[in-house]
Structure formats: structure tokens, C-alpha cells
Amino acid sequence: MTRFTEFELEYLASPGRLGRLATVDADGAPQNSPVGHRYNPDTGTIDIYGHQMGASRKFRNLATNDRVALVVDDLASMQPWTVRGMEIRGRAEALTDQPVPAGLSAEVIRIHPELVFTWGVDPGAPGMQSRRVGG
């Protein structure tokens, strides 16, 4: 159930990549949080883990609005200026009692991708690319 290209999966799995997860609270106020992330090949989703995830605002926001956007990007080079990254938009679940890596809380935010934007991730696809992957 791969919703991502080989280049996208490689980029997402690169060490040290942080993402920023945007959620919206019950009053419509946006919130953006730095997060770690992992592609889950069994579900075709992006899973967000953390310490005390269940107590976080981003986790609570999903109770009233499941729409999210995750941006993972970096600066590949300053000379020449080269940026690359991905934005994954979709719906998310706030899951509890999940098997997680040691030291993390048992809550997971699971993103079901619907729309993917990429820039500079695929060397054969210059500029920004976008496509629907689910929904």
C-alpha cells in the first residue's frame, strides 16, 4: 500500500529529518509543532510518536478536527541555493495503546495521506510536484 515514490520514501527515512505538524484546535486556531515521523509500510501512513504525546495539544486537537499537514524539508545546499522537501496533507487519527519504540508514550498520531507536494526530492522532477494519493 505504498502511496509514496521511492525517492519520497528515501527522503522521509533520511536520518535527522524533523517535520512540522500543523493541526487546528476547536476554535479554529492553527498550531504547528516540530515532530519526528516514520513511514508505516503496513498501513501506508505516516506515524508521529513522542514523549507524552497523549498530553500534547496537537494530539488533543485531533478530537475536533482531523485535518493535518506535515512538512519535512531541508536546505540541501547554500551554493547554489537548493531546497527540498515534502508536504503531506490528509486526515489523522489520535491512537492510544500502540506499540512504540522504547521510551515513547503509547499514543500515536497516524496521518492518512491525501495530497503530497514535493520539491527537490526527485532529481528527475524539477520544481514543485503535487498529486492526490488517497482520500
**Structural domain boundaries in the chain:** 6-132
> Was domain 6-132 assigned CATH 3.30.300.30?
no
Per the CB < 8 A criterion, the answer to whether 51 and 101 are in contact is: no
- DSSP code of 17? -
Q: Which three cell numbers stand for residue 5?
A: 515514490
Write the CB contacts of 132 (distance below 8 Å, at least 6 apart in sequence): 114, 115
Q: Which three cell numbers stand for residue 47?
A: 506515524
Strand partners, 34: 20
- Burial (CB < 10 A; 0-12, 13-18, 19+), residue 6, is exposed
Write the CB contacts of 7 (distance below 8 Å, at least 6 apart in sequence): 118, 121, 122, 123
Q: Which three cell numbers stand for residue 28?
A: 479554529
| Sequence-ordered strand ranges (E) for the chain | 19-24, 30-35, 38-40, 45-48, 67-78, 81-95, 108-119, 128-132
pLDDT tens, the chain, 135 aa long = 568 999 999 999 998 788 999 999 999 999 999 999 999 999 999 999 989 999 999 999 999 999 999 999 999 889 998 899 999 999 999 999 998 888 889 999 999 999 999 999 999 998 999 999 976
